[in-house]
Amino acid sequence: MREPVIAFDQVSKSYPFYHHVRGIKHLLFNLPRNVKSFQQNQYEALRDISFEVYKGEQFGIIGHNGAGKSTTLQLIAGVLRPTSGRIVVRGRISPLLALGAGFHPDLTGRENVIFNGVLMGLTRREVMARLEEIVEFSELGDFIDRSIRSYSNGMLARLGFSVVAHLDPEILLIDEVLGVGDIRFRQKCIKKMMEFKNNKVTMVLVTHSVNSVMQICERAMWIEDHTVKMIGDSQKVARLYCEAAGVPLNSQENVGMAELEAPAI
């Protein structure tokens, strides 16, 4: 009945564990042993994760810093490969994974929009048809024709969100963009995501804003200590997550809906 467009089956991801290496000299003079220890010393960022995201649903991922949320999104996007397990993704991915990721520092904002659109699989004509809308949404003014080297983090977040949100996303991946930039632009992003929700665009949202997850997502996954703690109705998962963290649900740390109603500043 419900068609999964993302499926993780017992997925684990390890990173090489570099911290034990005591300097480059030590590494060079103990090369054979170190190569071996490099291979053996793996840091497990995700352990045995299984979940599905269905077509048209908005799926939230919550968890403390370092839990493995960004790693999960990067695996969905195909930027990382799993160490073990199986991942199936059906559909065109529009990723907003990290500030400036996918942007070329030598290009202007406008050129980066075109560059990204083409990378996401659209034709140049399709991108050009939406260019003005994207530029307007980003509110970058004259900066849109400057190299993105001159952009602040907030400006990079604006450009990134504007690009992924306007190029007909099939599966939208958003990592923490709500945490950067001013409140008014964040409100705009939340409104846009509510539009996507109404239009049944599949979305995976990683954010510290538990309230945004409750507002936007039907279901949520709580990752704790690199593995799944709970998957279910977003209201329930968010409530139990906040209870466990000892943070009230409507606290400042969980900004979201309240901001939508606050005056723009």
Ligand X SMILES: Nc1ncnc2c1ncn2[C@@H]1O[C@H](COP(=O)(O)OP(=O)(O)O)[C@@H](O)[C@H]1O
Closer of 187 and 227 to ligand X (Cβ): 227
Q: Which two tokens stand for residue 53?
A: 């995201």
* 65: contact with ligand X by CB under 6 A: yes
Q: Which two tokens stand for residue 85?
A: 């397990």
Q: What are the strands of the beta sheet with 171-175, ordered from one edge?
A: 93-96, 171-175, 202-206, 58-62, 219-224, 227-233
* 68: contact with ligand X by CB under 6 A: yes
Under 8 Å between Cβ of 92 and 119: no
One character per residue 4-33, x = contact with ligand X (rule: CB under 6 A) = -----------x------------------
Closer of 58 and 70 to Mg ion (Cβ): 70
> Which of ligand X, Mg ion, none sits in contact with 256, Cβ below 5 to 8 A by type?
none
Going by C-alpha positions, the residue among 233, 69, 232, 9 that lies closest to residue 77 is 69
* 215: contact with Mg ion by CB under 5 A: no
Report the C-alpha gap between 159 and 155 in whole angstroms.
6
Q: Which stretch binds ligand X (CB under 6 A): 25-33, 69-77, 183-191, 253-261?
A: 69-77
Residue 132 CB burial class (10 angstroms; 0-12, 13-18, ≥19): exposed
* 76: contact with ligand X by CB under 6 A: no
Closer of 69 and 130 to ligand X (Cβ): 69
* 45: contact with ligand X by CB under 6 A: yes
- CA angle centred on 49, ends 48 and 52, rounded to 5°: 145
Residues 155-184 that bind ligand X (CB under 6 A): none
Report the C-alpha gap between 235 and 241 in whole angstroms.
10
* 207: contact with ligand X by CB under 6 A: no
Closer of 5 and 73 to Mg ion (Cβ): 73
One character per residue 87-116, x = contact with Mg ion (rule: CB under 5 A) = ------------------------------
* 63: contact with ligand X by CB under 6 A: yes
Tell me the site size for ligand X, rule CB under 6 A.
Answer: 11
Q: Parallel, antiparallel, or unpaired: how do β-strands 58-62 and 202-206 relate?
A: parallel
Rg of the chain over CA atoms, in angstroms?
20
Closer of 71 and 234 to ligand X (Cβ): 71
Shortest Cβ 70–ligand X spacing (Å)? 3
Under 8 Å between Cβ of 12 and 50: no
Question: Which one among 6, 49, 67, 221 touches ligand X, defined by CB under 6 A?
Answer: 67
Closer of 71 and 138 to Mg ion (Cβ): 71
Residues 58-77 that bind Mg ion (CB under 5 A): 70
Q: Which residue has the tokens 């990683």?
A: 206
Under 8 Å between Cβ of 210 and 256: yes
Binding residues for Mg ion, rule: CB under 5 A, are 70
Binding residues for ligand X, rule: CB under 6 A, are 15, 43, 45, 63, 65-71
